[in-house]
Amino acid sequence: MILSVASIDSLMNKAFLIFLFFCPFYLNAQKTNRHTPIVQKGVYLTFNPHSFLEPIQGAIGLGAGYRFNKHFEAWTELNYLYKGFFNEGSGQTNLTGIRSITSFKYYYSQKHGFFVGAEFRIKNYGFGDYNTFINEQTSDTLVDFRYKAKHRLTGGAFFWGKRFKLTGNGKFELEGNVGIGVKQRKIKRENVPPGYATILVPVRKINPVPDNDIEQSLPYFPAIVRFVYHL
């Protein structure tokens, strides 16, 4: 999907509004975090409050993690995917799917809540769409042919982040992290007659400009804010 200038402006405006919304939480968290954080061992739950605004596929779900000690954590999140609010102009219909993310964190600064980590994610989703298919043997072309697409993306990334206390006892926290990784897209197109395929477009081994309709490896940059509640 190619975004127009108007779409990009809309995305930037909404991202700015989200930033303004979370500023008070960050300021309060920084004020609360002046004292040494309490190490909350055991199980905790997480919620990503802005995932439903993701541009291509909106996502909603919960995460759960386990804090082994003051340094190590394991965490996973499961999301239900649906057609994103900024994807309404495309021909995709009935988009649904599931995304899972699993990560491991190491807290190298317990006093200030800084951590590094690695994540692994899998995303499966499907939708109905129109496309042009060509039979190279007969040179026959199917224009605006209706088909079912199933996409599978697997990827991994390294990230850095910080956790803030939102309450004095450390039960509620706010976590933010940013990172860089690589993911691979695989596409299965159903209901297409034998011998027909989409127009092949040559792509780089790792394409910095992703195309959502091409099988390829591409970089991604996870940037997440989550609320944390310790049970």
Give the domain extent around 101: 5-230
When divided into structural domains, the chain yields a total of: 1
User: pLDDT tens digits for 204-225?
Assistant: 555 555 567 778 888 999 999 9
Please provide the DSSP assignment of 8-43 as one string. HHHHHHHHHHHHHHHHHHHHHHHHHTTSPPP---EE
Please provide the DSSP assignment of 65-109 as one string. EEE-SSSEEEEEEEEEEEE-GGGTTSS-EEEEEEEEEEEEEEEEE
Residue 61 to residue 101: CA distance in whole angstroms: 11
41 or 55, which is more confident? 41
Residue 126 to residue 51: CA distance in whole angstroms: 19
Q: Please state, for a pLDDT cut of 70, what percent of the chain lies above it.
A: 75
The residue written with tokens 């802005």 in the block is 50
172 or 16, which is more confident? 172
Which residues face 142 on adjacent strands? 133
- On whether the CB atoms of residues 200 and 135 are closer than 8 A, the answer is no
Average pLDDT on 163-173 reads: 88
Query: With 50 as the cut, is the pLDDT of residue 74 above it?
Result: yes
Query: Three-state SS for 170?
Result: coil
Confidence of residue 201 (pLDDT cuts 50, 70, 90): low
Element (H, E) at 6: helix 5-32
Q: Please state, for a pLDDT cut of 90, what percent of the chain lies above it.
A: 40
